[in-house]
Amino acid sequence: MTILIKGGTVVSATGADPAEVLFDGEKIIALLQPGSELALSAEKGAEVVDATGRLVVPGGVDVHVHMGLPLLGTRASDDFESGTIAAAWGGTTTIVDFAAQERGQSLRDGLDTRLGEAEGECAIDYGFHMTLADVNKDSLAEMDHIVDEGVSSFKLFMAYPGTVYSDDAQILRAMQQAAGNGALMLMHAENGIAIDVLAEQAVERGETAPVNHGYVRRAELEAEAAFRAIQLAKVGAAPLYIVHLSAKQALEQVSRARREGANVFAETCPQYLYFSLEDHLAKAGFDGAGYVCSTPVRSKHEHHQDELWTGLRTNDLAVVATDHCPFCMKDQKELGRNDFRAIPNGIGGVEHRMDMIFQGVVSGQISLPRWVELCSTTPARMMGMYPKKGTLQPGADADIVIYNPKKRWTISVDNHHMNMDYSAYEGIDVTGRVETVYSRGRRILHDECFEGRKGHGQFIRRSLSQYLI
C-alpha cells in the first residue's frame, strides 16, 4: 500500500521543513514539496495521512538497551516483547541490545543464545553489540567473524571485577583487534577496582543505603577510566565509544581527546540529564534504589547536568541512548535492601527517551534537528545502520513517527508500558507526544493504541560504524 503523510513538518538532522513523505511497502519512496505536481499526483494513488500541526521524524534509534539482562541473580524485567512494545510507544523503532560472552564461552555461542532469545519476540527491528567478558587468543580471533555476522561493535568493562571486568592488557589487545576488523569499541568507563574498595569500606561503616552507590562510584573514577580508555584506544588505534557517560570530568576527557583529533565518541542517557544523587538516589526509605544505575546519577551541586547538555550541543556527546535495564522494586531492587551492592543496577527508560530529549527543544537547550540527530540519525550512523535507519529519504526503511509537539501530559507508572512496578520519571510533566508510529511501513501505534505484534521486528546485520576515519 502507498501512503502519503502530508501537512506536517519533516524534521531531519539538518533541518525542519514542510514536506510530504511518500512510502510504499517497507520503504520510503520520496519526500515531496507540498503542492508540487509530484505531490498532487502522488496523492491520487495513495492513502493520505493528515499530519497538520505535527512533526514527522525518523523513528528513534536506541543503541543501548538490555532486555531481560541477567544481573545479580535476577533478570531485567522487560523481555524482548514488552521492551520493544514500550520502545514503540515512545517513538523508538530500532534498538541495539547486547549479546554476552560468558567467561569460558565462545563469542559464537553467546551470540547464538541471544539471537535465539530475540527471534520472533520483537515488535521493532533490533541489532546486537557483543560484550567481551573473556578476552583471550580465541575470542580475539573470533571478533572478526562476529563483525561479519553484522555485530560490528564490542563492549568492554573497566568496572565489575570478578565478572565481566577486563584489565588493561585485555583492553589493549581487543582494541588492536578492532583496529584490524573495523569494529567500534564500546567502553563502560569506571575504575571498578577502586570502586569496589570504597564500596567495601562503606558497608563496613554500616553505610548500606542506595545513595552510597553514588558516593562510592566517584566522578574521579569515571574520569580516570575514560582517560585510560582513550589512551588505550589511541595506542591500539581503535575507535572508541564511551557508553552511559554521566560525570562532567569524564566529558572533559572526551572533549580534549576529540579536540586533539582522536576517534572518540560518547553517549549519555536521559537519567543523567534529569536525575541527581540528592533528589533521586537519596530518596527517603528505599526509594532511591529505583535510581541505582552505573555509572551513577551525579550530584546536582556539581552541575554535571548543565555540562552534559552543553556536550549534547557541541557534539562531544554524540548520542542519547537509554541503557534501558529495568528492575521492579518488588523482589528485584529489594534484593539490596540491606546492602546497596546487591541492588540490581539499571533504570528503565526506553519509552521516554524521545520525549525527555524533546524537552531540551522545548526549553531551548537543543534545536529540533539536533533532537533528531541525537536520537535517531547519529545513533544509526554510529552503529552502521544508516541510511536504512535514522533518516527519511528514498530507499530508507519507512520507520516514521508522527509527533504532536504541543501535547502536554504527565509520565507515570499508571500510563507507561514498560514492565516495571514504578517509574523513575513519575510525575514529570512533558510537552510533546508520539501519536503514530510506522515500522518498516506497517502502522504499529496510533491514537494511544498499539497495533503492532511481536515477531514483526527483524534482526539488523549492521555494517561498520560510519564514523571511522
- Asked if 188 is part of the footprint of Zn ion (rule: CB under 5 A), the reply reads yes
Residue type, 199: A
DSSP letter for 347, please. B
**β-strand pairing of 2-6 with 47-50:** parallel
Q: How far is the CB of 324 from ligand URP (least distance, A)?
A: 9
Q: State in angstroms the smallest separation of the CB of 331 from ligand URP.
A: 18
Q: Which is nearer to ligand URP, 29 or 297 (CB)?
A: 297
Report the alpha-carbon distance of residue 14 to residue 390 in Å, rounded.
12
CB of 296 to ligand URP, least distance (A): 8
Task: Report the C-alpha gap between 307 and 141 in whole angstroms.
Answer: 39
**Footprint on residues 227-256 left by ligand URP (CB under 6 A):** 244
Q: Please name which of 220, 311, 306 lies closest in space to residue 264, comparing C-alpha atoms.
A: 311
Name which of residues 312 to 341 contact ligand URP (CB under 6 A): 323, 325
The values of phi and psi at residue 24, to 5°, are -140, 125
**Binding partner of residue 370 among Zn ion, ligand URP, none, CB under 5 to 8 Å per kind?**
none
Cell matching residue 206: 554500616
- What is the number of helices (H) and of strands (E) in the chain? 14, 21
Number of residues that bind ligand URP (CB under 6 A): 9
Instruction: Check residue 156 for interaction with ligand URP (CB under 6 A).
Output: no
Binds ligand URP by CB under 6 A, chosen from 345, 376, 377, 419: 345
Q: Which is nearer to ligand URP, 188 or 388 (CB)?
A: 188
What minimum distance in Å lies between the beta carbon of 132 and Zn ion?
A: 13
Q: Which x/- pattern, by CB under 5 A, does the window 314-333 give for Zn ion?
A: ---------x----------
3-state secondary structure 122-178: CCCEEEEEEECCCCCHHHHHHHHHHHHCCCCEEEEECCCCCCCECCHHHHHHHHHHH
97 lines the binding site for ligand URP (CB under 6 A): no
| Nearest-approach distance from CB 325 to ligand URP, in angstroms | 4
Asked if residues 39 and 5 have their Cβ atoms less than 8 Å apart, the reply is no
Q: Which does 360 bind (CB under 5 to 8 A by kind): Zn ion, ligand URP, none?
A: none
Query: Where do contacts with ligand URP occur on this chain (CB under 6 A)?
Result: 66, 188, 244, 293-294, 323, 325, 345-346
Query: Where do contacts with Zn ion occur on this chain (CB under 5 A)?
Result: 188, 323
